[in-house]
Structure 1
Amino acid sequence: MRKTTDTAVVQESLRPYAIADKLRTLRLRRSMGLAQLAEHTGFSAAMLSRLENGRLVPTLPTLTRIAMVFSVGLDYFFSDPRKRHIVAIVRRDDRKVFPSDPKAAHVPWHFESLDFSVNERKLSGYLAHFHPLPQERLVPHYHPGVELLYLIEGKLEMTIGVETFQLSPGDSIYFDSMQKHTYRSLVKALCTAIVVTTGSSR
């Protein structure tokens, strides 16, 4: 009887955090079935179903393994949705500049995350600084989702698939980022853009 009572107390204390709903939301956002999640976590689909339906109280190791699959922290599960902030400010002095490829000697762009402090991002925003590399040094890349780029200054050449485009300040371009694409500044001066992506992080 005592064990049943203790379980009920734990369940009641966790209720405001809606952990079961958060687990289900994470999975559905990835369009992932229970069987697929079971393969990634090593847990059975039946156990995952019980967690999502609130019939089983998750342990911290269980939540940690699931969190790793979806690239979220444990704090995601223990933030009270009734108190969750929906506004996040990233100050200019708090941003860091990263190369597009840390291992490359010459990179086509550097970027600063404009929303790194936001949990559960539905999109990712960057301030990108492009460089005038020779064509032969450009390596096409792709990522899931779509991308929107707005050129602030400079002159930018983009190759998307088999097409090449040139952008001037004030121009914008939207495209399916699963298409292989490259960026190249056509000027030695600053070439800067706002880039918004969905479906991935750089």
Structure 2
Amino acid sequence: METPEGDVLAGVGPRLRALRHQRGATLAALAEETGLTASTLSRLENGRLRPTLEQLLPLARAHGVPLDDLVAAPPTGDPRVHLRPVRRSGLTLVPLTRRAGGVQAYKVVYPPAGRASTKKPRSHEGYEWFYVLNGSVRFVLGEREFLLGVGEAAEFDTRVPHWIGSADDRPAELLVLFGPQGERAHLGARRTS
């Protein structure tokens, strides 16, 4: 008979794999970041190794999620959303979704153009949609460049080389939806008549 602890730990592997894929990290890169071996990480993700606290803590840190998210701890009854910003590559990311896998939502703050890193387009698996909340952004997609302001949105396949950054001396804030398997954001309303 499965124990409640066993049920909780059984779901850790798929969550770890989904978080790693969401970040686009390899087992080797994650091993270097956490100090765990690639073999250990693979066995954790595949459920062949029962995770320990000593393994979960560096993994939670590396993925930028609370330990509770890795083990799917039950909610404590507090309905407030406690956002925990993460800084990566000069950006501030605020995860808005609390589950691993599927479409992920973030608020992303891009630093002013003078402080941004050099414009280096990147590509990776997935599909992205973003909406400009504040400021304006320069968006490079393939060979084309766009300027988007407050209230404008873009949707694109992330396999096409792309770059996003603030367009001026103010930070730019975006609402971003990212689907690692290429899920698209479908906007529309259902007809009622």
Larger Rg: 1
Task: Flag the structure with more relative contact order, 1 or 2, with Cα contacts below 8 A and sequence separation at least 6.
Answer: 2
TM-score, scaled to structure 2? 0.54
Of 148, 157, 177, the residue aligned with 2:138 is 157
What's the counterpart of residue 100 of structure 2?
A: 120
Change (3 A) 1:132 1:25: closer
Q: Distance in 1 between matches of 2:15 and 2:127?
A: 20
Q: Distance in 2 between matches of 1:167 and 1:181?
A: 14
Q: What SS is found at the alignment partner of 2:138?
A: strand
Q: What SS is found at the alignment partner of 1:18?
A: helix
Instruction: For residue 125 of structure 1, report the CA deviation from its aligned partner.
Output: 0.7
Q: What SS is found at the alignment partner of 1:187?
A: coil
Q: What SS is found at the alignment partner of 2:11?
A: helix
TM-score, scaled to structure 1? 0.52
Instruction: For residue 96 of structure 1, report the CA deviation from its aligned partner.
Output: 4.1
Residue 179 (1) aligns with residue 193 (2): no
AA partner of residue 11 (structure 2)? K
AA partner of residue 100 (structure 2)? E
Q: Distance in 1 between matches of 2:150 and 2:42?
A: 53
Q: Identity, % of aligned pairs?
A: 15
| Pairwise CA RMSD | 4.8
Alignment of 1:53-202 (within 5 A): 59-60=50-51, 64=55, 76-77=70-71, 79=73, 89-90=81-82, 95-96=84-85, 98=87, 100-101=89-90, 110-115=91-96, 118-120=98-100, 122=102, 123-133=104-114, 137-199=118-180
After the TM superposition, which parts of structure 1 deviate over 3 Å for at least 4 consecutive aligned residues? 23-31, 40-45, 58-61, 71-80, 83-88, 133-136
Instruction: For residue 194 of structure 1, report the CA deviation from its aligned partner.
Output: 1.8
What's the counterpart of residue 37 of structure 1?
A: none
Equivalent residues of 2:107, 2:173 under 8 A apart: no
Any unmatched runs of 5+ in structure 1?
1-10, 32-39, 53-57, 102-109
